[in-house]
Amino acid sequence: KPRDTIIELRKLDSTKEDPLYEKRSDKMAELVRDYYESLQSEGLATSTERQAAIENVLGIIQTQLSLENKEELEKNLSSDNISEVINILPNGKAPGTDGLPYEFWK
């Protein structure tokens, strides 16, 4: 099934009463790019507003671990802990960041 071919696009700065059309494909691509860029930038906050919003959110985030979490993370891992976790990992999954599948470690 052949695709629909767009042979021309109306230029954004033309009026409905007096439309101007672009027929060159490279210029049509620019028109489409510019149109979608303008859609994506509509209603964006200024850098000052954005910075204020970021600071507001970061001010709410808890930046320190609770004592309970800190104690849990300070515990040493035993070889039994590691073996237990490795044994419950599913087989047949994609390798980890080291490139080795779980079966290698089992």
Residue 20 lies in a domain: yes
Give the predicted TM-score (pTM) of the model: 0.40
The total number of structural domains in the chain stands at: 2
Residue 29 lies in a domain: yes
Residue span of the structural domain in which 28 resides: 9-41
The per-residue pLDDT for 40 is 83
Residue 55 lies in a domain: no
The per-residue pLDDT for 64 is 85
Residue 26 lies in a domain: yes
- Is the pLDDT reported for residue 38 higher than 90? no
pLDDT digits (tens, 9 = 90+) for 60-95: 987 788 899 999 999 999 999 999 999 999 999 988
Residue 67 lies in a domain: no
DSSP per-residue letters across the chain:
-PPPPP--EE-TTS-SSS--EE--HHHHHHHHHHHHHHHHHTTPPPHHHHHHHHHHHHHHS--S--HHHHHHHHSPPPHHHHHHHHHHSPSSPPP-TTS--HHHH-
